[in-house]
Amino acid sequence: MKTPRALWLLLLLAVSTGNALAQSRAADSLHQLLRNFPRPDTTRVRRLHALISELAATDAPQAIALSRQALTLSQRLTDTVSIGRSLLWLSILHRRLEQYAPARYYTRQARELFAQSHDRRREARACLELSLIDVQQSKPASALAWALQGLPLAEQAREEGLQAQLRGTIGSIYSQLADYTSALPMLRRALRDGQRLNDQQVVSAALSGLASLSQVLRQWPDARRYFRRAIAVSRQMGDTQNETINEIGLAEVCLAQGDLPRARHHGARARALVRATQDDYNLPAVELMLARSFLLAGQPDSAVALAQLGLERSQRSRRNGNISSAADILAQAYAVRQDFAEAYRYQRLFSSYQDTLTGDAVQRKSSALRYNYELEKQQSQITLLNQTRQLQTQKSARQRLQLYALLAGLTGTGLLAGLLWRNARLKQRINRHLNEKNTEIALQRDDLTSTLASLKAAQTQLIQREKMASLGELTAGIAHEIQNPLNFVNNFSEVSTELVEEFIDGPWQQLPEAEKAYATELLDNLTQNLQKITHHGHRADNIVKGMLQHSHGTSGQREPTDLNTLVTEHLPLAYQSFRAKNKDFTITITSDFDPLVGQVKLVPQDVGRVLVNLYANAFYAQRQRQQLGQAGYFPELTVNTKRLATEVQIRVRDNGLGMDAETQLKVFQPFFTTKPSGEGTGLGLSLSYDIIVEGHGGMLTITSQEGVGTEVTISLPV
């Protein structure tokens, strides 16, 4: 799957919008002011910064020279804020020129300066700039770390606009890391905040992020709608660079839907914008999008030429995301051209960059960063409560001392009794109030302690998941390395079979009759050998694909689903699929669905895959028993659902061959199968067990009797 581009982040790269003529006039006016008032003071620094803002989008070299002038003057004036602003401008300008080393150097200097002066707002902005630098270099884990570090600083400074930008950045990175559950609320909140603050940059950025997320989730209508809205906002602001980016995204959505004319229409608009603005940053993305359209149109030569250009430009700028996309296109194009050596080379390049961008290690690192961020927030609240309690204790001590001093200074018998009674009542009231406060603080402390314990338990579970993920990575790595040579075995066996057939149709006819019999025998043996290689190669390919599915696990999102509808829809699909291979097979299906089952929160695609597998196994067992020719036997399948107090159940019962007790103990083991060689991989029930038990916290049980049939029960918690 192609890694989603963080489109909205690129929207923040624009440092100025508006009419070019107005910008030119403003720049001329500022040049005139700087010439007429050469006095080296803070006013001149502010004018230099204003002129840099006007020239940043049109004349980056001159803007860099002016930023260096502003930095030198600010250092001479020892103006910390102006020094930091000058450093940030140098970083932004170098980043726009894809000169990441100096950009990171200047931003780190600015951040250290703001941290020393306790300027939370500008320190947060420096963290955002460091995050954007890492995003452009396709380093999502490091980018997420900087954004999560900047968000609490912006919250402390109560900078709502900066908070919205950081949340949008975090949401876009989560999307790039395939953490869609975390990405969606972040991007939606960024959009709401941008609309509330009337910040068109944030609105445009959030729309692009939501469009990219919908594109990855294959929600095509939403993706098109968000991209069109983003294009309209960018055009309204005069931001041609981000209008180009969104045109590219819309073209890619059309390509994914197979709408080639519409894709080329938007691709042509993106290319026209790139040429008009000499936008070298977006040029590789346009070339790669057009290369993909040629590949879809069956023109691999054009696809190779454009993808090679995009790859060379991306390698010069070290943009890993574009390098990965270019390698993917080249691998597919060379495969179409049957140049398998080049296809294999670019496929390995694609795999290496894909692992760098979205590997499990990167996702686990991002999960740890998010966990540490939440843990630090909880610990900060605990510290604040402890400080409040200490202040209450000190206040109580001072009140008691005042009370004792008052009692010691009282004189007179009648007056002493009245004052003692009054002070006793006062002390009781104060103590009661303090006890109530202490009780409230203790309850809050206990709640936070419980939350901290829950977070630590979650950390323990995360470590356990990492251990299991390591085993999955090993399995996936082995399967991946087997997959490529296995593809070559299958391809070359099929090609060799075609060569034998061509030889029989051509040169074989010209052989003498005395040699034809011997040649025919050799060719028949060679054909049979190649057919066996192909048969067993495809069987091995199915096993490898099963291993990859087993190691990947589930990645879907749970959603409320009508369970009866889900069970009903997949039953005819499985039956028709089985009948397509066994046309003489018929069966009686009986169903009993509990109307109280209603909707259950689950991953419909994964549970549907489990149901199809169970139905297929039942049909296979009944087909095997039917072939025994038993008198009076007819296949029957019973499917029912039932809602209990804490769970819902799905039961699938067949009257097939059944299984003995020893086989029932092994059915959930990977690669164990009762089917003959070549008819099963032994991964279906293993995957089903992982989906129901590990993925949904349910139960999957099997009861069977030889010669009678099998009943499978799925239990899902509600």
Q: Convert the pLDDT of each residue in 597-613 to its tens digit.
A: 989 999 888 898 899 88
pLDDT computed for residue 717 by the predictor = 92
Q: Which residues contact 8 (CB under 8 A, 6 or more apart)?
A: 168, 172, 187, 204, 205, 206, 207, 208, 209, 212
Question: Considering only CA atoms, which of 238, 226, 296 is closest in space to residue 267?
Answer: 296
**What pLDDT does residue 679 have?**
60
Residue 369 has pLDDT above 60, yes or no: no
Cα within 13 Å of Cα(710), Cβ side: 22
Q: How far is the C-alpha of 374 from the C-alpha of 451, rounded, in Å?
A: 11
Pick the closest to residue 340 from 539, 531, 487, 497 (CA basis): 487
Give the integer Cα–Cα distance in Å for 703 and 691. 19
543-566: pLDDT as tens digits: 666 555 545 555 568 889 999 999
- 73-82, 134-143, 385-394, 647-656 — which is least confidently predicted? 385-394
DSSP at 583: T
pTM for this one? 0.45
Residue 398 has pLDDT above 90, yes or no: no
Dist CA 243 CA 187 (whole Å): 19
- Give 699 or 666, the one with higher predicted confidence: 699
pLDDT of residue 562: 92
Higher pLDDT, 484 or 44: 44
* Dihedrals phi, psi of 637, to nearest 5 degrees: -125, 130
Q: Which two tokens stand for residue 409?
A: 């200074």
Provide the 8-state DSSP code for 118: T
Please compute the mean of the pLDDT values over residues 276-297 and round it to a whole number: 78
| DSSP assignment letter at 507 | G
Count of all residues that appear for the chain in the document: 718
Among candidate residues 277, 288, 363, the one with its CA nearest the CA of residue 13: 277
| Residue labelled with tokens 């940053």 | 281
pLDDT value for 718: 84
For the segment 388-401, the average pLDDT, to the nearest whole number, is 66
Beta strand pairing call for 709-717 and 699-705 = antiparallel
For residue 322, which of 349, 297, 295 has the smallest C-alpha distance? 349
Question: What count of Cα atoms within 13 Å lies in the side-chain half-sphere of residue 328?
Answer: 16
